[in-house]
Chains A and B, each alone.
Chain A
């Protein structure tokens, strides 16, 4: 079983990233649970998506000790860092987050702006990086999940962002 938590602020697309990751696992026939938590503001408040993936039947309801924490902003990091277990993988947006724990990461927001051309796709860039680094699901499963979940007409740009993040993770 792998517990993954993605944390950021409202507007970064944290929840959608969690849903797509969960859908990818479901496509592969794995057992998966996805939940979310967010403040009432549409933009700016905290936003957390939990995804738990397992081959066995899943009874857990929430992430208790995350194996992977991806923090897309400092506010997300501050709120979620205590849930990362010792030895767990910490992924951060290196431009936006400061941490004194061991981490891996890349400047997701900058990559989204400069390489994709749309800052709004930061969540797909970050997701690509996470999938490359953890191998928790197959690249193809995520791409299929993206096609199913993103608003019609935005599939291409979201796939582009995902692949850019994935390549960054593979480097």
Chain B
């Protein structure tokens, strides 16, 4: 299999470019998008590469169309992705919920920028976290990944596809304009060394007839991809295991929604990913994710040199969220600081998790400039 970019070595590229290459290496062969700063580079890279690997890259009339086309493509068996930023992400909310309800594997990249509304198109922010988790209406659970470096943007894109396929769910790769446009050295592995997961396919016509039954007991039904004789009916209405709309029976709705939510929530251990820096013996904990966490790493090193026992919890996945882990940290430390580029989003999750066992304070920063280590150090001292 020939790739339109070098593999098996490292390259000096932007985050957006890394995401596109990772998607193609993960097996993505359908991309639909709409131009938006600072995500257009992902689209442009996909547009360059897709025709060469016999994939499809198409510009839809708007973001609603983009995510719709991606979902449609996924139902023919293709791994599919779209990328956008705040304003486009808002437009995608309805269909994101449709993907959750129909259990469609797909990846949505949100390269966050200053918001709300048109905001600061060219500057980074982390203001879409709660929207990524809760933005679509109704009870649901979704996977949200937060890379902080260009290498992580690459690695987490591959992980995003694997999680989407494994759990038959949309996955949001929540990055930002800074990671998207900065250049770093990225190791691009040999394609043969990459682990790629593909969705479960029905093992029989009987299984295909019930596209929403938990045949294997792991909460994830096999996906009756179109065109193979399963005659599946997929709808966003509340449905029974057959796919038949059953909108007024409470038990049917409850069992469907609980299974869809539990798919993610009961598999937290497998999905959640984080790193700690000097956290084991810390008196003060800092929680951060994405671009802000990089300055936090530097801040912890400097604080330790000053004799302050600071430690960092760097989240690589902000949903599902490990509330118990936060409580265990809160039991050991005096204070917890949450450093994020918004006016407090993951802060509330941490505060809830701490359960009163430690004081939780927010180190916010908005306006487009990333936290400097000094911003964090001065608050912690």
Chains A and B directly touch (beta carbon < 8 Å): yes
A61 and B370 contacting across the interface, CB-CB below 8 Å: yes
CA distance A65 to B295 in the complex (A): 14
B294 proximal to A (CB < 8 A): yes
B178 and A61 contacting across the interface, CB-CB below 8 Å: yes
Count class of interface residues, chain A? 10 to 19
CA distance A16 to B374 in the complex (A): 29
B298 proximal to A (CB < 8 A): yes
Question: Which residues of chain B have C-beta atoms less than 8 A from A34's C-beta?
Answer: 12, 182-184
Interface centre among A27, A33, A59, A64 (most CB of B within 10 A): A59
A102 proximal to B (CB < 8 A): no
B185 proximal to A (CB < 8 A): yes
CB distance from A37 to the nearest CB of B (A): 9
Determine which of A23, A31, A40, A59 lies in contact with B294 in the assembled complex, contact meaning CB atoms within 8 Å: A59
Could you tell me how many residues of chain B have their Cβ less than 8 Å away from some Cβ of chain A?
19
B12 and A32 contacting across the interface, CB-CB below 8 Å: yes
B10 and A26 contacting across the interface, CB-CB below 8 Å: yes
Question: Which residues of chain B have C-beta atoms less than 8 A from A35's C-beta?
Answer: 178, 181-183
Q: Which of A23-43 contact B (CB under 8 A)?
A: 23, 26-27, 30-36, 40
CB distance from B344 to the nearest CB of A (A): 21
**Majority SS of interface residues in chain A?**
mixed
Q: What is the chain A residue whose CB lies nearest that of B300?
A: A59
A60 proximal to B (CB < 8 A): yes
Question: Which residues of chain B have C-beta atoms less than 8 A from A60's C-beta?
Answer: 294-295, 298, 373
Question: Which residues of chain B have C-beta atoms less than 8 A from A19's C-beta?
Answer: 12, 183
CB distance from B304 to the nearest CB of A (A): 14
**28 chain-A/chain-B pairs, Cβ below 8 angstroms:** A19-B12, A19-B183, A22-B12, A23-B12, A26-B10, A27-B12, A31-B185, A32-B12, A32-B184, A32-B185, A33-B184, A34-B182, A34-B183, A34-B184, A35-B178, A35-B182, A35-B183, A36-B181, A40-B122, A58-B184, A59-B295, A59-B297, A60-B298, A61-B178, A61-B182, A61-B291, A64-B373, A64-B374
Given contacts A34-B183, A61-B294, 18 further A-B contacts (CB under 8 A): A22-B12, A26-B185, A30-B185, A31-B184, A32-B12, A32-B184, A32-B185, A33-B182, A33-B183, A33-B184, A34-B12, A34-B182, A36-B181, A59-B294, A60-B298, A60-B373, A61-B178, A64-B373
